[in-house]
C-alpha cells in the first residue's frame, strides 16, 4: 500500500478539511487498481450519486458539523479469463471471461463459439458479464457402425457449423445433412460408406416355368376303300407350371451408375400354328428347337392326288435343348436386374437368379 502526503486546504476552504488520496492494488477481487479519496465535508452534505468506476461512496459523520466522504474508484477493471476442461459433446475446453461493465449493457450477442452469457448486478451501477466460449473450435465427433443389411462399414462425422452453412455438393459414397440447433449453430452430419464385395442373399420367389416341346408324334396311312391318304400329328410337351423356388439375390453398391446387364435370361416361346391341307399343328407358347414337319400323299391317292406339304418352324429363346441342358446342369440364370439410387449417394444393383426346372 502506498499513500501520498496529506495536503491542507486553503483557509477559505477550511470547511472541506483535509484531502487524503490513497492508491492501492486490490488482490482480493479482480486485481484492479483502486484509488480511494477521503475528504472532510459538512455533515449535511448529500451523498453524491455514483458513476461508472465508483465502487465505494459513503459519508461517515465525525461530529455534529463535520463528516468524512470516502470515494473509491477503479482506474482499470481487469478481465478475468479462466479455462476449464468439460469433456462434453463437441466441447473439450472452454474459456470463461468476466468483464465489469456499466449496468444495463447486457449480455453478449450470440456467436458460433459462445456457449453462454449472463449478467450479475453489483450495485445498480456496475454489472459483471460472464461469457463462456469454446476454446478455439468445436471438436469433430466420429461414430462407426456397419450398414444393417450389407454389413459395409460406415463412418459418421458430426460437426458444429454456422446456421447458414451451405449444403455441400454431392459426393459419391457420402451423404450430408444439416440440422439447425439454435439461432447461430447447425449440426453437420456426414455419413460415408466403404463399399466391399457384393452380398449374396437367398430368398423364395414365385416363377412360372415355361412349356417345353419334347417332340412331335406323327402317323400316316392310306385307306384303300376311299383311296385317300390320312395323317395325324400330336405333340409331346412338358406343360408350364408356377411354383415357389429358391432365388439367389446378389446386391452390389457402386459410386457411379452401372451399365445394365445384357445377360438377363429372356424366355421367348414360340407359337407353332399350321393350318394345312394334309395336316394341322396348333401348339401355343412352347420352347422348341428349329425343325420341320413334312407329309406327302400315297401314290394311289385319288382324293388328294399327288400332294406334298411342309411346315417349317424356328427355334424359341432359349431353345428346348438349351433349356433342358440348364435344368440338367442346375445353372443359375439371371431373370431380373434393378439399378436404383440408394443411400450415401450410391447406386444399388440387385440381380435375381434362379435354377430352371
Do residues 341 and 347 make contact, with C-beta atoms less than 8 angstroms apart? yes
- Cα separation, 74 vs 31, in Å, equals 10
In angstroms, rounded to a whole number, what is the distance separating the alpha carbons of residues 102 and 97? 16
Looking at residue 317, its pLDDT comes to: 93
**What's the pLDDT at 330?**
92
* Residue 56, pLDDT score: 66
Contact 257, 346 (CB under 8 A): no
pLDDT for the residue 80: 73
H helix and E strand count, the chain: 1, 24
User: Beta-carbon neighbour count of residue 261 at 10 Å?
Assistant: 11
pLDDT, averaged per 10 consecutive residues of the chain (357 residues), comes to 41 44 53 72 72 70 76 74 67 86 87 87 84 87 90 93 91 94 90 95 94 91 84 90 94 95 91 90 94 88 85 94 93 94 96 94
Q: Buried b vs exposed e over 114-127: b needs ≥16 C-beta within 10 Å?
A: beebeeeeeeebbb
Predicted local distance difference test score (pLDDT) of residue 18:
41
Q: With 0-12 CB in 10 A as exposed, 13-18 as middle and 19+ as buried, what is 13? A: exposed
Bridge-partner residues for 97, per DSSP? 81, 131
190 touches 178 (CB < 8 A): no
Burial class for 89, CB neighbours closer than 10 Å (0-12, 13-18, 19+): exposed
Residue 127 makes CB contacts below 8 A (sequence gap 6+) with 100, 101, 102, 103, 104, 105, 119, 120, 121
C-alpha–C-alpha distance, residues 210 and 324, integer Å: 11
Helix (H, G, I), strand (E, B) or coil at 281: strand
Beta bridge partners of 89: none
How far is residue 119's CA from residue 135's CA, in Å, rounded to a whole number?
Answer: 21
Amino acid at each position: 500500500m502506498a499513500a501520498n502526503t496529506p495536503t491542507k486546504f486553503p483557509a477559505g476552504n477550511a470547511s472541506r478539511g483535509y484531502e487524503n488520496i490513497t492508491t492501492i492494488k486490490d488482490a482480493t477481487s479482480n486485481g484492479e487498481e483502486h484509488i480511494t479519496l477521503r475528504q472532510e465535508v459538512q455533515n449535511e452534505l448529500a451523498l453524491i450519486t455514483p458513476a461508472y468506476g465508483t465502487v465505494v461512496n459513503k459519508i461517515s459523520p465525525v461530529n455534529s458539523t463535520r463528516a468524512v466522504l470516502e470515494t473509491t474508484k477503479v482506474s482499470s477493471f481487469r478481465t478475468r479469463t479462466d479455462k476449464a476442461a468439460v469433456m462434453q459433446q463437441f466441447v473439450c475446453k472452454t474459456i470463461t471471461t468476466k468483464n465489469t461493465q456499466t449496468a444495463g449493457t447486457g449480455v453478449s450477442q450470440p456467436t458460433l463459439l459462445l456457449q453462454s452469457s449472463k449478467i450479475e448486478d453489483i450495485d445498480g451501477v456496475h454489472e459483471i458479464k460472464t461469457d463462456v466460449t469454446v476454446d478455439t473450435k468445436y471438436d469433430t465427433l466420429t461414430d462407426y457402425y456397419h450398414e444393417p443389411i450389407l454389413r459395409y462399414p460406415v463412418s459418421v462425422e458430426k460437426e458444429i457449423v454456422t446456421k447458414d452453412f451451405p449444403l455441400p455438393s454431392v459426393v459419391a459414397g457420402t451423404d450430408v445433412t444439416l440440422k439447425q440447433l439454435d439461432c447461430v449453430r447447425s449440426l453437420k452430419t456426414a455419413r460415408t460408406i466403404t463399399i466391399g464385395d457384393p452380398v449374396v442373399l437367398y430368398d423364395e420367389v414365385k416363377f412360372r416355368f415355361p412349356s417345353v416341346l419334347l417332340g412331335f408324334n406323327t402317323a400316316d396311312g392310306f385307306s384303300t376303300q376311299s383311296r385317300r391318304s390320312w395323317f395325324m400329328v400330336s405333340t409331346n410337351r412338358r406343360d408350364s407350371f408356377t411354383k415357389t423356388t429358391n432365388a439367389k439375390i446378389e446386391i452390389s453398391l457402386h459410386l457411379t451408375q452401372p451399365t445394365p446387364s445384357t445377360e438377363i435370361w429372356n424366355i421367348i416361346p414360340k407359337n407353332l400354328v399350321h393350318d394345312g391341307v394334309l395336316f394341322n399343328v396348333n401348339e401355343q407358347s412352347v420352347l422348341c428347337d428349329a425343325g420341320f414337319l413334312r407329309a406327302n400323299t400315297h401314290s394311289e391317292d385319288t382324293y388328294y392326288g399327288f400332294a406334298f406339304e411342309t411346315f417349317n418352324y424356328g427355334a424359341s429363346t432359349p431353345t428346348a435343348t438349351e433349356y433342358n441342358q440348364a435344368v440338367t446342369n442346375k445353372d443359375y440364370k439371371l431373370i431380373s436386374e434393378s439399378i436404383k439410387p440408394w443411400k450415401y449417394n450410391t447406386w444399388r444393383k440387385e440381380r435375381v437368379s434362379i435354377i430352371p426346372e
